[in-house]
Amino acid sequence: MISTPDFRHKQVVFLNTADFSKPQLSFRNENIVVSGTYGTIDKVPLHRLLAVFIAGETTLTSKLMEKCMANGASLFLLKRNLATYASIGAYAEGNYLLRQKQYALEEEQSIRIAKKIVENKLVNHLALLRSVDCDVVRTRTRLAYKKIMKEKIQKAKDLGELRGVEGLASKDFFQAYFSRINWHKRIPRGKIDENNILLDMGYSFLFNFVDSILRLYGFDTYKGVYHQLFYQRKSLSCDIMEPFRCIVERALVKMHTLGQFDEKDFSVRKGVYGLQYQKNNKYARIFLKEIMNYKMEIHQYVRAYYYLVLNNEGEMGKFIIR
């Protein structure tokens, strides 16, 4: 488990191998070294590294992987479309006591935690709406809408009903918040337009970042409380990222506002949109920068959840977007 002061100085590195020829990552003099045909390109002190995202083909040395594991750093290997196909992670798998407590959570407590997660997500979505002077949601004032949705969350009798409330709130948010950026609708991994592609990218980085922190604490990230067990789905990582989705969503709107978004960066084939791989770096760095601006809040949220599960002390953390 990593302490809060140590975590403050941790870095995340994104490497797009399309930017140079014959890329290689190696370990040298306590640094992670990125090199190519013409020598060293960049280096990062190992003790400050939390995760490395590598898009495209590269060469990794066994010493590098050994050192990353020993120092609590994770490697995420991505395809050129930024889909994660493998990861080499550092995690406290021997924390059997935490996992026993995690598996033993009663249904009532799981639902109570899930409600806190959904309510936190709602509060941040409404904060984003307030930031763009959106005072009406679904024909109601923002404050009236907040009161109604909070009541529905608390009255939900089971996870199915809670998911219904959360789904409705998310739909209302997307329609209101993204109305200024030619928004159609949210279809995960649907590739129906540029905005959905960028949201998928940002959510993927956020998910992997949250997952890497959860594993450092020793959680079984497949065992969630809101998202239930499903084959090969890291349900707990899906749970914990929910209140932080607003970081990615605000980043998307900022891209449009600041003129960083460009339709020419995308291609369309038979109605399916795609981001040109040469432009992956541009948008990936924007999302990673926004996520890293909140790295301490994410770490503290996971830490609070750790003590809640392990010792049944404290409350579920609460994240408020700045």
> pLDDT tens, 245-293?
999 999 999 999 999 999 999 999 988 999 998 898 899 999 999 998 9
* CATH number given to 4-88: 3.100.10.20
Tell me, what's the pLDDT at 1?
A: 60
pLDDT interval class at 97 (50, 70, 90): very high
CATH architecture of 96-311: Up-down Bundle (1.20)
Q: How confident is the model at residue 108 (pLDDT cuts 50, 70, 90)?
A: very high
Return the pLDDT at 91.
Answer: 67
- Is pLDDT at 90 greater than 70 in this prediction? no
Q: Is the pLDDT of residue 5 over 80?
A: no
Instruction: Look up tokens 């995760």; give the residue.
Output: 51
C-alpha 148/C-alpha 239 separation (Å) is: 23
For position 65, what pLDDT does the model report?
A: 85
At 55, which helix (H) or strand (E)?
A: strand 49-55
Note the pLDDT of residue 127.
Answer: 98
Please tell me the predicted confidence (pLDDT) of residue 145.
97
- Percent of the chain having pLDDT more than 70? 94
Structure token pair of residue 75: 């490697």
- The reported pLDDT for the residue numbered 156 is 97
The model carries a pTM of 0.86
**Is the pLDDT higher at 200 or at 50?**
200
As a whole number, mean pLDDT of residues 131-152 equals: 95
C-beta atoms surrounding 168 within 10 Å: 13
pLDDT average, residue stretch 218-238? 90
How far is Cα 211 from Cα 209, in angstroms, rounded to an integer?
5
Cα-Cα-Cα-Cα torsion 77, 80, 81, 85, nearest 10 degrees, comes to -30
Domain-wise residue ranges, the chain: 4-88, 96-311
